[in-house]
Amino acid sequence: MKLRNIAIIAHVDHGKTTLVDKLLQQAGSFRENQRVAERVMDSNDLEKERGITILAKVTSVVWQDTRVNIVDTPGHADFGGEVERILSMVDGVIVLVDAAEGPMPQTKFVVGKALKLGLRPIVAINKVDRPDARITEVVNEVFDLFAALDANDDQLDFPILYGSGRNGWMADAPDGAQDGMAPLFDLVLKHVPEPKVEEGEFRMLGTLLESNPYLGRLITGRVFSGSIKPNQNVKVLDNDGKVVETGRVSKILAFRGIERTPIDVAEAGDIVAIAGLTKFNVADTLCVPEVTEALHAQPIDPPTLSMTFLVNDSPLAGTEGDKVTSRVIRDRLMKEAEGNVALRISDSPQADSFIVEGRGELQLAILIETMRREGFELGISRPRVVFRQDEATGERLEPIEEVIVDVDEEHSGVVIQKMSERKADMLEMRPSGGNRLRLVFHAPTRGLIGYQGELMTDTKGTAIMNRLFHAYSPWKGELAGRRNGVLLSNDAGESVAYAMWNLEDRGPMMIEPGWKVYQGMIIGQHTRENDLEVNVLRGKKLTNIRAAGKDEAVRLTPPIRMTLEKALAYIENDELVEVTPKSIRLRKTKLDPNERKRAERSKELVD
């Protein structure tokens, strides 16, 4: 059967996964009476909850005697490592662009990678039925983007389709005949070339890694040359051509709709999943024993943010999770790094702690959330940027991000002020329709840590911020940290409503009555700059005298709700987030007040 391999790339929320749903329906992958979940490719619990794609996934459909392998990719910049890898598997890309928002930072990032590989894109303008759609301007913006990314003449001569992924149609014109997804399928068959098949014996490049409870390690990749059958002897080569392991293929699975089906032979050009090898990893080459040269894997952009993962040493350690030792945490992190090439794990100089480097706060927060659901307890430090040194001048360099903020005109002033406080340079300010402005900045990554929540508050929830790594540039200087101190518990026990009510004038609380607390745990935000130790355990002194009006119920102000991302952004360098399967607590790194004072004194002496 003839083959086509395509990837759908776009910015987050531009409708990739919904489009794949409609392509599967149109191609008859589901029975007429089959009940299908919305965004069927988002299989992970966190993907369903957050409405974003985290892991790239492969599916396939048959259209006019041609099998089309489709790869659904993440749209968030933090998961760009997934997209960079899968581009080596495909021969064409569908660039999906929102008819109102136009090309956004992640679109720019992945399109740049695709154009460098020589892929010829198809542009699909999605959501043309939006009331604020600006179709002609968006098409011009896409052309300008391709030109700015040094596209060649063939790539600039891209075909365009217009449609609505949710309503399941694509057409040659915005007001064209709504004939389902057939125009998109026909264009893929006409525009995307057949997979190039190299000469020689069987070779396959590993691209996606997952673990299957029955088959063990499963690696998905594209067969570049030759063919393979189950029970055939193979070997694994790393990037340098060294043999990692030898073994036998136990099963070959091909993608058939949303199911995976065992097949008897995998031919060159197809995308398949292979089981039976224990050390076969992402970016490794699987080949027959006679082959000595590995396939070239695309280099991945380096991480820009790091966090320290520590063994939880709080007084409540081990009461809510069952995976608490450094060995178990280390094994889990190393396993994660195998499949996620955008992560780097290293041992920290401190005992029982590990440095985890990644692309952004969301990527690391997703990893922490996944681990806590698996029963891990962890202490997490404040995110820090990964600095570099200029080899020529020895100057310290820091990561700079391109930030695009879409905001109502009335709130633009406060956004510009806050971004300038974070050492950001404004590059552009232009209207984007409907009394909204689009602001473009270059800002240091460390200035953006924790800004999302503040932006939502400043703009009454109306702003949309998108960020993308731009480059490393000279250090921009010190940034102002958190302005408020924190309220700390001075003893261990359960918080009491009466004590919390008496402390309300000191600042808003982050805990509720009846919660377990310990010495050094952060229970609220102080109204002033300094940290303050308070007693939340003191109950009301009872007497045998009854007086009218003395026994009213205590009414407390609702506490600040700390999500994982909010907590990571809130803490300072001397604080940690304690993450367990049931709780997210904030605490000082050193729980003993005397130890904290000694550490502060020694820091002052060093300064």
**Size of the chain, expressed as the number of residues it contains:** 607
Q: Whose CA is closest to 164, among 132, 138, 126?
A: 126
- 347 in a labelled binding site: no
CA 185 to chain centre: 30
Coil, strand or helix at 77: helix
Residue at 212: amino acid letter: N
DSSP H/E element including 59: strand 57-63
Tell me the C-alpha distance between 206 and 200, whole Å.
18
Closest by CA position to 406, among listed 375, 377, 440: 440
From 51, 5, 41, 34, select the one nearest 20 (Cα to Cα). 41
Residue 128 annotated in ligand binding? yes
Maximum Cα–Cα distance across the chain? 96
**Would you call 475 helix, strand, or coil by DSSP?**
coil
Q: What is the sign of the dihedral through the CA atoms of 359, 362, 366 and 372?
A: positive
Contact partners, residue 69, CB within 8 Å, separation at least 6: 3, 4, 5, 6, 58, 59, 60, 90, 255, 270, 271
- Decide if 527 contacts 486 (C-beta within 8 A): no
DSSP string, 44-111: SHHHHHHT---S-EEEEEEETTEEEEEEE---SGGGHHHHHHHGGG-SEEEEEEETTT-S-HHHHHHH
Tell me the one-letter amino acid at 527: T
The answer on whether 16 is annotated among ligand-binding residues is: yes
Distance CA 13, CA 559 (A): 31
427-433: long-range pairs with CB below 8 Å, 24+:
432/406, 433/100, 433/132, 433/134
Is the four-CA dihedral 438, 442, 447, 448 of positive or negative sign? positive
**Residue listed under structure tokens 């402390």:** 503
325 is in an annotated binding site: no
Q: Residue 464 carries which side chain, given as an amino acid letter?
A: I
Q: Is 551 annotated as a binding residue?
A: no
Is 57 known as a binding-site position?
no
CA 11 – CA 106 distance, rounded (Å)? 5
Give the distance, in angstroms, between the CA of residue 7 and the centroid of all CA atoms in the same chain.
18
Asked if residue 384 lies in contact with residue 303, where contact means CB atoms within 8 angstroms, the answer is no
Residue 603 annotated as binding?
no
Strand order in the sheet with 233-237: 243-248, 233-237, 285-287, 203-212, 216-225, 271-275, 251-256, 259-262
Q: Name 349's Cβ contacts closer than 8 Å, sequence gap at least 6.
A: none
Q: With helix as H, strand as E and coil as C, how does 368-403 read?
A: HHHHHHCCECEEECCCEECCEECCCCCCEEEEEEEE
Burial of 348 (0-12, 13-18, 19+ CB in 10 A): middle
> Annotation-wise, does 14 bind a ligand?
yes
Structure tokens at 67: 């099998």
Residue 299 burial class via C-beta count within 10 angstroms: exposed 0-12, middle 13-18, buried 19 and up: exposed
| Separation between Cα atoms, residue 539 and residue 525, nearest integer Å | 21
Q: Which residue ranges are tagged as binding site for GTP?
A: 13-18, 126-129
Q: Which residue ranges are tagged as binding site?
A: 13-18, 126-129
